[in-house]
Amino acid sequence: MNDNYHVKVENHSNLVRDIRSNAIINTDKKGYDHYKSLKKTKSLEKMRMDQIESDLSSLKNDINEIKDLLKSLLK
């Protein structure tokens, strides 16, 4: 980052303004890395929950199939 093009944002130690584009840039690398870590953790947790839901659905289908087979045997 070239400091000639960035000025600190008043009352915000982790923010600078790019004077060429007028964009606000967050310079808090630790906070950004923490955000990325949380996002990855949430993504993995969602994948895990999706797999659990799929497994549960499969188990329900298997149980229903077993119940149907037992009913046909009892007839």
* The two three-digit tokens of residue 18, written as one number: 């790019």
> For the chain, what are the domain ranges?
3-74
Stretch 14-42: mean pLDDT? 95
What residues are paired with 9 via a beta bridge?
Answer: 12
Mean pLDDT for the chain overall: 94
DSSP state of 6: E
Spatial distance between the Cα atoms of 8 and 37, rounded to a whole number of angstroms? 27
- For residue 46, the Cα-to-chain-centroid distance in whole angstroms is 7
Report pTM: 0.63
| Tens of pLDDT, residues 43-61 | 999 999 999 999 999 999 9
Spatial distance between the Cα atoms of 73 and 75, rounded to a whole number of angstroms? 6
